Amino acid sequence: MEPLLQKLETQLAALPVPVAIGLPRGRRLGPADAPVRLAFQDWSGLATFAAGQIGRIAEDYVEKRVEIEGRMRDVMAAAAALLPGSPVASDTSWWTQVLRRAKSIASHTPQKDAEQIRFHYDVSDDFYALWLDPRRVYSCAYYRDAGMSLAQAQEAKLDHICRKLMLREGERFLDIGAGWGGLLLWAAEHYGVHGTGITLSRNQHAHVNRLIQDKGLQDRVKMLLVDYRDLPEDQPFDKIASVGMFEHVGLANMPAYFGKIHRLLKPGGLVMNHGITAGSVEPGQLGAGMGDFIGKYIFPGGELLHTSLVLRDMAVGGLEMVDVENLRPHYARTLWAWSDALEERLDEAREVLVKTHGEDGAGTVLRAYRLYLAGCAMTFERGWIALHQILATRPDGHMNTGTLRGGQSAYPFTRDYIYR
């Protein structure tokens, strides 16, 4: 054990924040007043710590094999410093890629996707309401001004998307993965569109339909509980948005996903794909156990692709990319806002979760989400993953469509219209 303890002492001395470790038999390492404190039940957990497998340490915390105390921002600063190298590097061997594709195919049948979406989004509406903004917008905010609150930045994001899509009164607008209805209702109320939202979450479906009734928008807005693959294609939409959804589509299904969007979109129409993208060019997941943790406790079946792969699949699907914007640090700030809000209401969050998950289940979910929100904030800050808004068109083939000859779409091929 002495070599392990010596390694631990060396690691603790190099961390950016003081960390104290409680050993299985009562001995302690590190300063007693350290802002971050961990207590391990067995030596295997200490070996995991020494190896920098922070995803496995997170799993041990969720399963109560390790205790972690301290501010989440301090915990994540220490966690990042423990890593032996970049977690973005992935196994790029041909066999690994074959296995990943096979797993992707098996993980993204319509039934599997429905189960995986409900695992995450149907945890508890009341739980999400504790730390999201009042509109329950569960995606990257847009901090147009540094002094914006989370709620203001989320409204700025909704409007940013609507402006990019050039939404006009009376247009048919589709929101794929509409969540709790933030974008769908914003587009209807502020831009006068006829909106259709879809989701696989029963909770979100019921919530948005209540809002539609309360707002008297039944004649212009509808929310459907349906898989995107099952949407009819006989009445194409003028504009389409997909926000925080394509992360659930899967590597194997990505060409079919964009092909479906192409068929759902009118010639000359615009589509906005807003989603998390990977730092690694090759398909894979974050190392050091972080990807495994997210897949087990938060987003089963979730897969991230590098922007270059997304653009390739969009092009294969017949869509022309016209604008790409990276909002990575915006998502870091969004996630820290969510994390801080949850940390301020931990007792209330536990009470809410007990109603749907029981005492033990509530503790498991709460511990997982504490590390998930703060951990994701850290990964966006450090550039291990990113968030891209990709605006694309379905070219109509007519040279005189648009403001410039050869535009072949509503897109004006200038960004001026977004910021007017």
Let me know if the fold of 2-82 is the same as that of 106-419. Answer: no
Identify the DSSP state of 219.
Answer: T
**How far is the C-alpha of 141 from the C-alpha of 153, rounded, in Å?**
5
Residue 335: which residues within 8 A CB-CB, separation 6 or more?
Answer: 373, 374, 376, 377, 380
**SS3 label, residue 202:** helix
Q: Quote the pLDDT of residue 1.
A: 61
pLDDT at res. 203: 94
Where along the chain do its domains lie? 2-82, 106-419
Q: What is the CATH number of domain 2-82?
A: 3.30.1050.10
Q: Could you tell me the fold of the domain covering 106-419?
A: Rossmann fold (3.40.50)
Q: What is the CA angle 140-141-145, rounded to 5?
A: 145
> What is the number of residues in the chain?
420
The label of the residue with tokens 């966690």 reads 79
Which residue numbers are catalytic? Answer: 376
Average pLDDT value for the chain: 90
Q: Which residues contact 140 (CB under 8 A, 6 or more apart)?
A: 157, 244, 274, 327, 330, 331, 334, 387
Measured between alpha carbons, how far is 366 from 342 in angstroms, rounded to an integer? Answer: 9
pLDDT in tens, 82-137: 888 777 765 555 445 545 555 555 656 777 666 766 767 778 999 999 999 999 99
Mean pLDDT within 35-45: 90
What percentage of the chain exceeds 70 in pLDDT? 93
Instruction: Give exposure, 105-137, as e/b (b: 16+ Cβ within 10 Å).
Output: eebbeeeebeebbbebbbbbbebbebbbbebbb
pLDDT tier at 224, thresholds 50, 70, 90: very high
The tokens for 35 are 């802002």
pLDDT tens figures, 202-215:
999 999 999 999 99
Give the side-chain half-sphere CA count within 13 A for 15: 29
Assign 309 a pLDDT band (cuts: 50, 70, 90): very high
**pLDDT tens per residue, range 292-303:** 888 888 878 778
Reference 108, options 301, 273, 282; nearest CA is 301
